[in-house]
Amino acid sequence: MALFRRGMAVYIMRMKQLSHPSSATVARIALGVALVAAATGVAFASWIDKGAAIFMATVESGLAWCF
């Protein structure tokens, strides 16, 4: 078991230490999340506004049965 402990100590010493993300990285991630949220909101609002027309267009073309 002494070999296992020594090997484990060497493994732990060689592990990469976690670094804190820079503020630029955090800002990019936040901007990406905000853009995805905005796009999702616009798509949902559009679906609420034009959903019936979209469904009727799929019914007329026969695609409504695919859903």
Q: Distance between CA atoms of 57 and 45, rounded to whole angstroms?
A: 18
Beta-carbon neighbour count of residue 58 at 10 Å? 14
Domain spans of the chain?
Answer: 31-67
pLDDT, mean of residues 46-58: 88
What is the residue whose two structure tokens read 């955090």? Answer: 26
Burial class (CB in 10 A: 0-12, 13-18, 19+), 35: exposed
pLDDT, mean of residues 14-37: 88
pLDDT, mean of residues 5-28: 76
User: Which pLDDT belongs to residue 2?
Assistant: 54
The better pLDDT of the pair 21, 9 is held by 21
User: Which pLDDT belongs to residue 26?
Assistant: 94
Instruction: Give yes or no for residue 48 having a pLDDT over 60.
Output: yes
H helical segments located in 1-67? 2-14, 23-61
